[in-house]
Amino acid sequence: MKFDINKMLDPGIYDHPVKQVELIETHISWVLLTGEYAYKIKKPVDFGFLDFSTLDKRQRCCEQELQLNGRLAASIYLDVVAITGSPEQPSISAAGDAFEYAVKMRQFPQSAQLDHKLEAGELAIEQMEDIASMVAEFHQRIDAADEAVSYGSAESVFQPVEQNYVQIREHLDTDEYQQSLKQLQQWARESYVALKPCFKQRKKEGYIRECHGDMHLRNIVWLDEDYHQGPVAFDCIEFNDNLRWIDVISEVAFLVMDLQSRNLYSYARRFLNSYLEQTGDYAGVMLLPYYLSYRAMVRAKVSVLRLQQPGVIAEEKRQMLDEFEQYLELASDYAKAQTPVLIVMRGASASGKSTVSGLLLDAIDAIRIRSDVERKRLYGVPVADNDNEVQSETQTTAETAGINEGIYSAQASVETYGRLIECAASVLSAGYSAIVDAAFLKSEQRLPFQQLAEQLDVSYVILEVTAPDEVLRQRIVARKNDVSDADLNVLNYQLENWQPLSADEREHAIEVNTEQAIDLPSIVSQLPLLD
């Protein structure tokens, strides 16, 4: 039966009071906004990567959509309802045989979507940390794929990448874009071959999980409602298991790409760094350029598919073509080789290393690795940051162990610096600059990082962060709810065992005195600048 979606705009067909119905259309669905509730109806389309061509398939996908979105958005997703009557006289949840199905959701204001909030200037950069926490917590609790299944294999990872190019060429006159598409596709193929061992290792280590699959700005809302406070990701992929059972870093890449496509690079950096710090998944950064390019091409493909749908006027076609070109250019940018730099933060506790490195993260494309965090991760100690209860536990651990004992023993420090250099190598090899935040008291702690920079042929910088000893002591005493366990005893130990930089190291050093106002532009100007 042919279904005229406009018949669903009648307020009288719903089983609850409705004053007005608004229709939102995507390339795969119709969404009807009724005020209190929203109804999502799947279009009878078959794009290969999804198949809604029969009523049974649409019903199953509606039911799966309800179940899967319950993992992150149970407060929004309510039910699957039957549309009965006839296409000419439809009714929601009335008696009779269903000729269509809809997912019933709690309606939220469109202004709550992150894309709208960003456009309105209503989303602070600090909120990206809450969003990162939501994503990180989700990734750490969802099921991992069994090694025996195909999800996450190199071939299954590459298949949707290759399919993007096939489908774009099927639906778009590509003569104008042929060269760009050819070069980018060739890069994707070469990257796939080079990264095969990494894909295999990621699956072996359990990073292929049943993810959301479509986590971008339009699919996240920030709610301030009685039933939920904070970020909620909705509208996950239910129609294609292969697009949902993916590497967690691919999911992260979609949101990073979406932010960068809007020139919100500082927001993207804040989200990415917060996520990595919470999960410790620095090894995943090796795959980030590959997945960033893939996600940009997904968006490019969607623009092309929308371009070909009936009823699209000339102005809309021009807009969709502009979007396609934008995402094609972005995908090409991700494929370009980058020139990273290794930045070592050196300074005593309370010198301001983390403050300076945090400012740098908002200014340059870099990924920060913190010794205070990685030391605790290595030894299974909860990381405390702005959490009084957990902080008390970790503080007790440090105090009980004492200086040079427990997780702060000489051997633990060796292992911690080993972890830092491992993470830095992953980040740098992926083409990203790395900021390593640690005390770096001794030359033997610094030397391996300099050697790593030489090995990878990247620039090496030591940011020596200083302040007068008395200022350091005052800051230590005033600290509250900090991820670091350092107290006055620790600080005094550091000052007594401080080893100055060698003449060679001083050639790579930039000094930052945090007793004075931090001049970020001056610091950045002295760096071997990143592309």
Question: Tens digits of per-residue pLDDT, 291-319?
Answer: 999 999 999 999 998 887 777 888 888 99
400 has a pLDDT exceeding 60 = no
Selection from 126-135, 467-476, 514-523 with the highest mean pLDDT: 126-135
383 has a pLDDT exceeding 90 = no
Sign of the dihedral through C-alpha 201, 203, 207, 213: positive
Residue 309: predicted pLDDT: 78
Span 396-408, average pLDDT: 55
- The SS3 of residue 44 is coil
Q: Cα-Cα-Cα-Cα dihedral of 276, 277, 278, 284, to 10°?
A: 20
- Residue with tokens 């190019």, as numbered in its chain: 165
Q: pLDDT-derived band of residue 404, with 50, 70 and 90 as boundaries?
A: low
Of 17-26, 39-48, 395-404, 510-519, the range with the lowest mean pLDDT is: 395-404
Spatial CA neighbour of 9 closest among 17, 18, 19, 21: 21
Order of strands across the sheet that contains 22-25: 22-25, 29-33, 37-42, 100-106, 77-85, 90-92
Residue 491: predicted pLDDT: 85
Q: What is the mean pLDDT of the chain?
A: 91
Residue 529: predicted pLDDT: 66
Residue 173: predicted pLDDT: 77
Span 400-429, average pLDDT: 85
Sign of the dihedral through C-alpha 457, 415, 513, 354: positive
125 has a pLDDT exceeding 50 = yes
Residue 307: predicted pLDDT: 83
User: Which comes out higher in pLDDT, residue 517 or 173?
Assistant: 517
481 has a pLDDT exceeding 90 = no
Q: Are 104 and 81 in contact (CB under 8 A)?
A: yes
The DSSP element (H or E) to which 344 belongs, if any, is strand 341-346
Residue 172: predicted pLDDT: 86
- Percentage of residues in the chain with pLDDT exceeding 90? 75
495 has a pLDDT exceeding 90 = no
Homologous superfamily (CATH) for 341-526 = P-loop containing nucleotide triphosphate hydrolases (3.40.50.300)
Span 396-418, average pLDDT: 71
Residue 121: predicted pLDDT: 96
The model scores a pTM over 0.75: yes
Residue 95: predicted pLDDT: 86
User: Which comes out higher in pLDDT, residue 95 or 181?
Assistant: 181
331: left (phi over 0), alpha (psi -120 to 50) or beta: alpha
**Residue range 5-107, CATH number:** 3.30.200
- Residue with tokens 């870093």, as numbered in its chain: 249
Q: Are 463 and 512 in contact (CB under 8 A)?
A: yes
Residue 402: predicted pLDDT: 56
**Residue range 114-334, CATH number:** 3.90.1200.10
Domain ranges in the chain?
5-107, 114-334, 341-526
Residue 377: predicted pLDDT: 94
Q: pLDDT-derived band of residue 484, with 50, 70 and 90 as boundaries?
A: low
237 has a pLDDT exceeding 90 = yes
Q: Are 245 and 209 in contact (CB under 8 A)?
A: yes
Residue 147: predicted pLDDT: 87
**Is 114-334 the same fold as 5-107?**
no
Segment 380-389 long-range contacts (CB within 8 Å, at least 24 positions apart): 381/407, 383/483, 384/481, 384/483, 385/481, 385/482, 385/483, 386/481, 387/481, 388/481
User: Which comes out higher in pLDDT, residue 410 or 183?
Assistant: 183
Span 119-143, average pLDDT: 97
Cβ partners under 8 Å of residue 308, min gap 6: 171, 172
